[in-house]
Amino acid sequence: MASPASPDNSDLLTEIDHQAPALIHVVTKASQLPPFFLEPSCEQNLVVGFDCEGVALARHGQLCIMQLAFNDGIYLVDALEGGGDLIQACRPALESAYVTKVIHDCKRDSEALFYQYGIRLNNVFDTQISYSLIEEQEGKTWKPDDHISFVDLLADERYCGISYNEKEEVRGLLKKNPEFWKQRPLTERMKRVAADDVKFLLHIHQKMVRKLGPLSRWQLKLRGSLYCRCFCVDAGVYQDWPDLPGPPDEIEAELSELQEILSAVDVPPGKMGYIIGKKGASILRIKESCKADIFTGGAKGPPDKVFVIGIMKEVRKAEAMLRGRIGVRSM
Protein backbone atom coordinates (compact mmCIF):
# COMPACT_ATOMS: atom_id res chain seq x y z
CA MET A 1 0.00 0.00 0.00
CA ALA A 2 1.50 3.31 -0.99
CA SER A 3 1.56 5.95 1.75
CA PRO A 4 0.27 9.38 0.80
CA ALA A 5 2.48 12.42 0.92
CA SER A 6 2.55 14.44 4.11
CA PRO A 7 -0.57 16.65 4.17
CA ASP A 8 -0.95 20.25 5.20
CA ASN A 9 -4.40 20.17 6.75
CA SER A 10 -3.80 22.98 9.19
CA ASP A 11 -5.66 25.37 6.86
CA LEU A 12 -9.17 24.98 8.22
CA LEU A 13 -10.65 27.11 5.44
CA THR A 14 -10.01 24.37 2.90
CA GLU A 15 -13.28 22.48 2.59
CA ILE A 16 -13.38 18.69 2.73
CA ASP A 17 -15.83 16.98 0.38
CA HIS A 18 -17.57 14.84 2.99
CA GLN A 19 -19.86 13.31 0.37
CA ALA A 20 -17.02 11.88 -1.72
CA PRO A 21 -16.41 8.10 -1.48
CA ALA A 22 -13.58 7.34 0.92
CA LEU A 23 -10.67 5.07 0.11
CA ILE A 24 -10.48 2.42 2.85
CA HIS A 25 -7.18 0.74 3.77
CA VAL A 26 -6.97 -2.21 6.17
CA VAL A 27 -3.72 -2.00 8.12
CA THR A 28 -1.99 -4.99 9.70
CA LYS A 29 1.59 -3.64 9.66
CA ALA A 30 2.93 -0.26 10.74
CA SER A 31 4.61 0.20 7.36
CA GLN A 32 1.15 0.52 5.81
CA LEU A 33 0.47 3.72 7.76
CA PRO A 34 1.54 7.18 6.53
CA PRO A 35 5.02 8.10 7.82
CA PHE A 36 3.84 11.59 8.77
CA PHE A 37 1.39 9.96 11.21
CA LEU A 38 3.91 7.55 12.70
CA GLU A 39 6.46 10.33 13.21
CA PRO A 40 4.59 13.46 14.35
CA SER A 41 6.42 16.74 14.01
CA CYS A 42 6.01 20.26 15.35
CA GLU A 43 6.52 21.44 11.77
CA GLN A 44 3.06 20.27 10.75
CA ASN A 45 -0.33 20.46 12.41
CA LEU A 46 -1.97 17.16 11.61
CA VAL A 47 -5.71 16.68 12.20
CA VAL A 48 -6.98 13.09 12.14
CA GLY A 49 -10.46 11.61 12.55
CA PHE A 50 -10.24 8.94 15.23
CA ASP A 51 -12.33 6.17 16.76
CA CYS A 52 -12.02 2.67 18.19
CA GLU A 53 -14.16 -0.44 17.93
CA GLY A 54 -14.00 -3.48 20.15
CA VAL A 55 -15.69 -5.93 22.46
CA ALA A 56 -16.97 -4.25 25.65
CA LEU A 57 -14.50 -1.50 24.87
CA ALA A 58 -13.06 -0.30 28.18
CA ARG A 59 -10.27 -1.36 30.52
CA HIS A 60 -11.31 -5.03 30.59
CA GLY A 61 -12.66 -5.31 27.04
CA GLN A 62 -10.73 -5.82 23.83
CA LEU A 63 -9.74 -3.24 21.26
CA CYS A 64 -10.28 -4.73 17.79
CA ILE A 65 -10.03 -1.85 15.28
CA MET A 66 -8.67 1.67 15.47
CA GLN A 67 -9.94 4.00 12.73
CA LEU A 68 -7.91 6.92 11.35
CA ALA A 69 -9.39 9.38 8.84
CA PHE A 70 -7.11 11.56 6.71
CA ASN A 71 -8.12 13.94 3.95
CA ASP A 72 -7.38 11.34 1.29
CA GLY A 73 -8.50 8.10 2.90
CA ILE A 74 -9.41 6.02 5.95
CA TYR A 75 -7.11 3.53 7.63
CA LEU A 76 -8.59 0.66 9.65
CA VAL A 77 -5.82 -0.40 12.03
CA ASP A 78 -6.50 -4.07 12.82
CA ALA A 79 -5.43 -4.61 16.43
CA LEU A 80 -6.22 -8.33 16.27
CA GLU A 81 -4.20 -9.11 13.15
CA GLY A 82 -1.45 -6.56 13.78
CA GLY A 83 -1.13 -7.14 17.50
CA GLY A 84 0.37 -4.95 20.16
CA ASP A 85 3.36 -3.90 18.05
CA LEU A 86 1.04 -2.24 15.52
CA ILE A 87 -0.85 -0.29 18.19
CA GLN A 88 2.39 0.71 19.90
CA ALA A 89 3.64 2.09 16.58
CA CYS A 90 0.73 4.52 16.78
CA ARG A 91 1.59 5.63 20.33
CA PRO A 92 3.68 8.69 19.35
CA ALA A 93 0.79 10.14 17.32
CA LEU A 94 -1.88 9.25 19.87
CA GLU A 95 0.10 10.93 22.64
CA SER A 96 1.40 13.82 20.53
CA ALA A 97 0.43 17.45 21.03
CA TYR A 98 1.12 17.96 17.29
CA VAL A 99 -1.63 15.59 16.17
CA THR A 100 -5.23 16.58 16.88
CA LYS A 101 -7.44 13.52 17.25
CA VAL A 102 -11.04 14.37 16.30
CA ILE A 103 -13.32 11.96 18.13
CA HIS A 104 -16.88 11.76 19.42
CA ASP A 105 -16.86 10.94 23.16
CA CYS A 106 -13.30 9.93 23.98
CA LYS A 107 -13.77 8.46 27.48
CA ARG A 108 -13.99 4.72 26.82
CA ASP A 109 -11.56 4.78 23.89
CA SER A 110 -8.99 6.49 26.10
CA GLU A 111 -9.62 4.02 28.89
CA ALA A 112 -9.11 1.04 26.57
CA LEU A 113 -5.89 2.47 25.11
CA PHE A 114 -4.50 3.18 28.56
CA TYR A 115 -5.29 -0.10 30.31
CA GLN A 116 -4.68 -2.38 27.34
CA TYR A 117 -1.64 -0.65 25.83
CA GLY A 118 -0.40 1.96 28.31
CA ILE A 119 -1.18 4.77 25.83
CA ARG A 120 -2.22 8.16 27.22
CA LEU A 121 -4.52 9.68 24.62
CA ASN A 122 -3.72 13.37 24.28
CA ASN A 123 -4.82 16.46 22.34
CA VAL A 124 -8.32 15.39 21.40
CA PHE A 125 -10.99 17.50 19.74
CA ASP A 126 -14.09 15.86 21.17
CA THR A 127 -17.06 16.74 18.96
CA GLN A 128 -19.54 15.88 21.72
CA ILE A 129 -17.93 18.39 24.07
CA SER A 130 -17.54 20.92 21.26
CA TYR A 131 -21.23 20.70 20.37
CA SER A 132 -22.25 21.47 23.97
CA LEU A 133 -19.84 24.41 24.22
CA ILE A 134 -21.08 25.92 20.97
CA GLU A 135 -24.70 25.55 22.11
CA GLU A 136 -23.91 27.33 25.39
CA GLN A 137 -21.88 29.95 23.54
CA GLU A 138 -24.96 30.65 21.41
CA GLY A 139 -27.24 31.04 24.43
CA LYS A 140 -28.67 27.58 25.08
CA THR A 141 -29.32 26.82 28.75
CA TRP A 142 -27.12 24.08 30.22
CA LYS A 143 -28.90 20.84 31.13
CA PRO A 144 -27.46 17.70 32.75
CA ASP A 145 -26.66 14.75 30.49
CA ASP A 146 -27.39 16.84 27.41
CA HIS A 147 -24.74 15.00 25.38
CA ILE A 148 -25.53 14.72 21.68
CA SER A 149 -25.20 11.28 20.10
CA PHE A 150 -23.00 10.79 17.06
CA VAL A 151 -26.02 9.89 14.92
CA ASP A 152 -27.81 13.10 15.92
CA LEU A 153 -24.67 15.16 15.33
CA LEU A 154 -24.35 13.76 11.80
CA ALA A 155 -28.00 14.59 11.16
CA ASP A 156 -27.56 18.22 12.24
CA GLU A 157 -27.42 20.22 9.00
CA ARG A 158 -25.19 22.85 10.58
CA TYR A 159 -22.41 20.27 10.72
CA CYS A 160 -23.13 17.45 8.31
CA GLY A 161 -26.77 16.71 7.45
CA ILE A 162 -26.21 12.98 6.97
CA SER A 163 -28.60 10.17 7.91
CA TYR A 164 -26.76 7.25 9.53
CA ASN A 165 -29.43 4.55 9.75
CA GLU A 166 -26.94 1.70 9.47
CA LYS A 167 -25.47 2.67 12.86
CA GLU A 168 -28.72 1.69 14.54
CA GLU A 169 -28.74 -1.60 12.63
CA VAL A 170 -25.22 -2.40 13.82
CA ARG A 171 -26.21 -1.64 17.41
CA GLY A 172 -28.87 -4.30 17.03
CA LEU A 173 -26.28 -6.74 15.68
CA LEU A 174 -23.97 -5.97 18.62
CA LYS A 175 -26.73 -6.85 21.08
CA LYS A 176 -27.16 -10.24 19.39
CA ASN A 177 -23.43 -10.79 18.91
CA PRO A 178 -21.26 -8.73 21.32
CA GLU A 179 -18.14 -10.10 19.60
CA PHE A 180 -19.15 -8.67 16.22
CA TRP A 181 -15.88 -6.70 15.86
CA LYS A 182 -13.75 -9.82 16.44
CA GLN A 183 -14.87 -11.47 13.22
CA ARG A 184 -12.08 -12.06 10.71
CA PRO A 185 -11.66 -11.54 7.89
CA LEU A 186 -13.41 -8.17 8.08
CA THR A 187 -16.60 -8.19 6.05
CA GLU A 188 -17.40 -5.37 3.65
CA ARG A 189 -20.10 -4.21 6.02
CA MET A 190 -17.67 -4.10 8.94
CA LYS A 191 -15.24 -2.04 6.88
CA ARG A 192 -17.98 0.34 5.76
CA VAL A 193 -19.42 0.87 9.23
CA ALA A 194 -15.99 1.35 10.81
CA ALA A 195 -15.06 3.86 8.11
CA ASP A 196 -18.35 5.75 8.42
CA ASP A 197 -17.65 6.33 12.12
CA VAL A 198 -14.71 8.57 11.18
CA LYS A 199 -15.41 9.60 7.59
CA PHE A 200 -17.24 12.82 8.51
CA LEU A 201 -15.20 13.90 11.53
CA LEU A 202 -12.77 16.16 9.65
CA HIS A 203 -15.66 17.97 7.98
CA ILE A 204 -17.44 18.42 11.33
CA HIS A 205 -14.19 19.63 12.89
CA GLN A 206 -13.88 22.36 10.26
CA LYS A 207 -17.44 23.52 10.85
CA MET A 208 -17.02 23.60 14.61
CA VAL A 209 -13.67 25.38 14.66
CA ARG A 210 -15.24 28.30 12.81
CA LYS A 211 -17.88 28.63 15.53
CA LEU A 212 -15.72 28.26 18.65
CA GLY A 213 -14.54 31.45 20.36
CA PRO A 214 -11.18 31.69 22.24
CA LEU A 215 -12.75 30.79 25.58
CA SER A 216 -14.66 27.83 24.19
CA ARG A 217 -11.55 26.54 22.38
CA TRP A 218 -9.61 26.46 25.62
CA GLN A 219 -12.51 24.87 27.51
CA LEU A 220 -12.71 22.23 24.80
CA LYS A 221 -9.00 21.36 25.08
CA LEU A 222 -9.14 21.29 28.87
CA ARG A 223 -12.38 19.30 29.13
CA GLY A 224 -11.18 16.90 26.43
CA SER A 225 -8.02 16.27 28.46
CA LEU A 226 -10.10 15.58 31.57
CA TYR A 227 -12.43 13.26 29.64
CA CYS A 228 -9.40 11.28 28.43
CA ARG A 229 -8.38 10.75 32.06
CA CYS A 230 -11.93 10.19 33.35
CA PHE A 231 -12.03 6.41 33.73
CA CYS A 232 -8.27 6.02 34.32
CA VAL A 233 -8.38 6.21 38.08
CA ASP A 234 -5.83 3.82 39.58
CA ALA A 235 -3.47 5.22 42.20
CA GLY A 236 -0.86 7.53 40.68
CA VAL A 237 -2.26 7.11 37.20
CA TYR A 238 -2.28 10.83 36.40
CA GLN A 239 1.31 11.56 37.26
CA ASP A 240 2.69 10.69 33.83
CA TRP A 241 -0.08 12.27 31.76
CA PRO A 242 0.68 15.45 29.81
CA ASP A 243 0.11 18.76 31.55
CA LEU A 244 -3.39 20.16 31.27
CA PRO A 245 -3.66 23.00 28.73
CA GLY A 246 -3.45 26.49 30.19
CA PRO A 247 -5.76 29.34 29.18
CA PRO A 248 -4.95 31.81 26.41
CA ASP A 249 -3.65 35.19 27.55
CA GLU A 250 -6.90 37.02 26.82
CA ILE A 251 -8.86 35.00 29.40
CA GLU A 252 -6.15 34.24 31.96
CA ALA A 253 -7.64 36.69 34.45
CA GLU A 254 -10.85 34.61 34.52
CA LEU A 255 -9.02 31.35 35.22
CA SER A 256 -10.03 31.08 38.88
CA GLU A 257 -13.69 30.82 37.90
CA LEU A 258 -13.34 28.80 34.70
CA GLN A 259 -10.67 26.20 35.50
CA GLU A 260 -12.28 22.75 35.39
CA ILE A 261 -11.11 19.77 37.42
CA LEU A 262 -11.77 16.03 37.56
CA SER A 263 -12.75 14.31 40.79
CA ALA A 264 -13.26 10.60 41.45
CA VAL A 265 -15.51 9.91 44.44
CA ASP A 266 -15.02 6.49 46.04
CA VAL A 267 -18.22 4.56 46.75
CA PRO A 268 -18.11 1.79 49.38
CA PRO A 269 -19.18 -1.71 48.28
CA GLY A 270 -22.95 -2.05 48.11
CA LYS A 271 -23.56 1.70 48.26
CA MET A 272 -23.85 2.60 44.57
CA GLY A 273 -27.60 2.00 44.73
CA TYR A 274 -27.91 4.88 47.21
CA ILE A 275 -26.12 7.12 44.70
CA ILE A 276 -28.29 6.06 41.76
CA GLY A 277 -31.63 5.84 43.57
CA LYS A 278 -34.86 4.33 42.30
CA LYS A 279 -34.91 4.60 38.49
CA GLY A 280 -31.94 6.99 38.71
CA ALA A 281 -33.86 9.61 40.67
CA SER A 282 -31.15 10.33 43.26
CA ILE A 283 -28.27 10.90 40.90
CA LEU A 284 -30.54 12.94 38.63
CA ARG A 285 -31.28 15.33 41.52
CA ILE A 286 -27.56 15.74 42.12
CA LYS A 287 -26.91 16.40 38.43
CA GLU A 288 -29.70 18.98 38.33
CA SER A 289 -28.25 20.75 41.37
CA CYS A 290 -24.66 20.99 40.08
CA LYS A 291 -23.45 22.38 36.77
CA ALA A 292 -20.99 19.54 36.26
CA ASP A 293 -20.70 16.34 34.25
CA ILE A 294 -21.25 13.33 36.50
CA PHE A 295 -20.51 9.78 35.31
CA THR A 296 -20.69 6.31 36.83
CA GLY A 297 -18.78 3.33 35.50
CA GLY A 298 -21.92 1.33 34.77
CA ALA A 299 -21.65 -2.24 33.51
CA LYS A 300 -18.12 -1.69 32.14
CA GLY A 301 -16.86 -0.29 35.45
CA PRO A 302 -15.14 0.78 37.49
CA PRO A 303 -18.07 -0.09 39.78
CA ASP A 304 -16.90 1.76 42.90
CA LYS A 305 -16.41 5.35 41.71
CA VAL A 306 -18.36 8.36 40.51
CA PHE A 307 -16.54 10.87 38.29
CA VAL A 308 -17.25 14.59 38.34
CA ILE A 309 -15.91 17.14 35.83
CA GLY A 310 -16.59 20.86 36.13
CA ILE A 311 -15.42 24.07 37.74
CA MET A 312 -14.17 23.62 41.30
CA LYS A 313 -17.20 25.15 43.06
CA GLU A 314 -19.65 22.84 41.27
CA VAL A 315 -17.42 19.77 41.66
CA ARG A 316 -17.10 20.33 45.42
CA LYS A 317 -20.87 20.73 45.68
CA ALA A 318 -21.41 17.46 43.78
CA GLU A 319 -18.86 15.66 45.96
CA ALA A 320 -20.66 16.76 49.13
CA MET A 321 -24.03 15.62 47.79
CA LEU A 322 -22.65 12.27 46.63
CA ARG A 323 -20.98 11.60 49.97
CA GLY A 324 -24.14 12.65 51.72
CA ARG A 325 -26.03 9.91 49.90
CA ILE A 326 -23.65 7.24 51.21
CA GLY A 327 -23.18 8.71 54.69
CA VAL A 328 -19.56 9.75 54.22
CA ARG A 329 -18.42 13.10 55.55
CA SER A 330 -16.60 15.46 53.18
CA MET A 331 -12.94 15.97 54.03
The pLDDT score that the predictor gives to residue 2 is: 46
Return the closest-CA partner of residue 90 out of 65, 69, 61, 119: 119
What single-letter DSSP state applies at residue 2? P
How much is the pLDDT for 234?
65
Q: Phi, psi (5° rounding) for residue 9? A: -105, 25
Burial of 175: CB neighbours in 10 Å, binned 0-12, 13-18, 19+: exposed
pTM of the model: 0.91
| pLDDT for residue 93 | 98
pLDDT at 221: 96
Can you give the pLDDT at residue 254? Answer: 59
Residue 74 identity: I
Residue 194 three-state SS: helix
Residues of the chain whose pLDDT is less than 50? Answer: 1-3, 10-16, 235, 331
DSSP per residue, 209-232: HHH--HHHHHHHHHHHHHHHHTT-
Q: What pLDDT is recorded for position 7? A: 57
pLDDT given for residue 108 in this prediction: 96
Please report the pLDDT score of residue 168 as a whole number: 79
pLDDT of residue 114: 95
Structure confidence at residue 20 (pLDDT) = 60
